[in-house]
Amino acid sequence: MLVFWKPMTNFESALFMVLMMIDQGRFFGKVCVQVSMVLLGLCLVISMSLGVWVSQLGAAPEFRVLWRSSDCLQSLKIDDLRFSGFLHTWCNKRSNGCISKKLDRVLVNNDWLVKFENSEEIFLPPSISNHCPSVVKLGLQGIKKNRPFKIFNFLIDRADFLPLVYRCWREQVHGTMQYKLCSKLQNLKKVLKILNNDKVGDLTIKSIEAKAALDDCQRLFDQQPIDSNLRIREKELISCYTTTLKAEEDLLRQKSRIQWLKASDRNSSYFFKVINGKRNRSKIHTITGDDGSLIEGDILVKKEAIPHFQTILGYSRPVSHGIGSTLSNIIDKVISNGQANFMGRDFIDDEIWKVCFSLHPNKAPDLDGFNAHFFKITWDIVGEDIISAVQ
């Protein structure tokens, strides 16, 4: 459905009222509707996937008219789609008093991000128009890439986790202490990747299956209330369901990287939306080259990014030896020789322990995917090697 959106107050309010009803699946009566929406500039495109089409359309009477667009957009839970190309999408093109602004936006809801996770918006040159034309690419032919390893806290809290780490850590590695530590972490990572795929990949499915099994058991127990075996079975299924549900929540909370909501209900749907929003903002499929050309595709973007950062971070000319005296004339606060010697001394065991245990549990001190929670739980196993590698 394509709607051209003109700046008329009555039309705008009626349009958003319809969108609110569609978003909550109430515009089509009792049929459950999943809607993927994207708002493009002054027009609105709605892609709907309906399980059953109904002919009678009825509006819920309690829907109020929303007059402010900001309230409507917030109620629809939509956010900006990641974009590339022109930053200022509108210009008055005057010789004197030229004004450029970003007036055109592309807004999508969570269902759109789930269905088209690789989609992006490209703002093209405006040519003779005041506005930049925009193109939404769905990204349906994206290249599947292996995700980097990341350990999850619910796996660390499992009863069989520490014995697994202990067995892997006992393997002999020869070399320097730093090499030994990195090699043991790499060997452990291979084992944990398999555990991640087994436990994380189908965690949501297991939660749904556990809930369905519990419902079936409770229905049977309702018909046979004197059956003690069903009562025992119900307790086992409740324990299984709560354990799976807690693991799913811990996983989503860690992925979303936000503070846990102290609410009485489960927040899985909220965390799913936060994760989708972060993925939407972090993915890069299109960049502008040094010559101003548009570079698309993951492979071409990767080839362009490497030489670009090499020119920024690399420096071929030798550094002048007189830079020390130049800096001393600028910086008036310097440390004494005694302070410098104190800072350069060897670390003691207690200092290394305090630094490791002062880190936030979900913060990773390195790019290897192991967070601080892992090192705290496994300190009795890996702590000695960490101290030796640091010293």
Residue 207 located in a structural domain = no
| Model pLDDT for residues 192-243, shown as the tens digit of each residue | 887 776 665 567 778 888 888 888 888 888 788 788 888 888 888 888 888 8
Which pLDDT belongs to residue 367?
Answer: 58
User: Can you read off the two tokens belonging to residue 242?
Assistant: 């709560």
Domains identified in the chain, total number: 1
* Mean pLDDT, the chain, whole residue set: 72
In a domain, 385, yes or no: no
pTM of the model: 0.47
Residue 63 placed within a domain: yes
| Count of CB atoms situated within 10 Å of the CB of 354 | 10
Residue 36 and residue 115 in contact, taking contact as beta carbons nearer than 8 Å: yes
How far, CA to CA in Å, does 327 sit from each of 288, 297, 332, 337?
37, 44, 9, 17
- Rounded to an integer, what distance in angstroms lies between the CA atom of residue 76 and that of residue 371? 35
**Enclosing domain of residue 124:** 2-137
pLDDT in tens, 303-336: 888 888 877 776 666 656 666 667 777 777 888 8
**Would 185 be classed as within a structural domain?**
no
User: Does residue 202 form part of some domain?
Assistant: no
In a domain, 105, yes or no: yes
Q: By mean pLDDT, which of 5-9, 104-108, 120-124 is the weakest?
A: 5-9
Domain membership flag for residue 112: yes
Per-residue pLDDT tens digits for 185-199: 888 888 888 777 666
Give the percent of the chain with pLDDT over 90: 0
Average pLDDT value for residue range 141-157: 70
pLDDT exceeds cutoff 80 at 140? no
Three-state DSSP at 104 gives: coil
What is the tally of helices (H) and strands (E) in the chain?
15, 12
Nearest residue to 131 (alpha-carbon basis) of 102, 174, 161: 102
Closest by CA position to 106, among listed 81, 140, 139: 81
As a whole number of angstroms, the distance between CA 294 and CA 137 comes to 14
Q: Is 242 within a domain?
A: no
In tens, the pLDDT along 362-384 reads 776 555 678 888 888 899 998 88
Are 189 and 179 within 8 A, CB to CB?
no
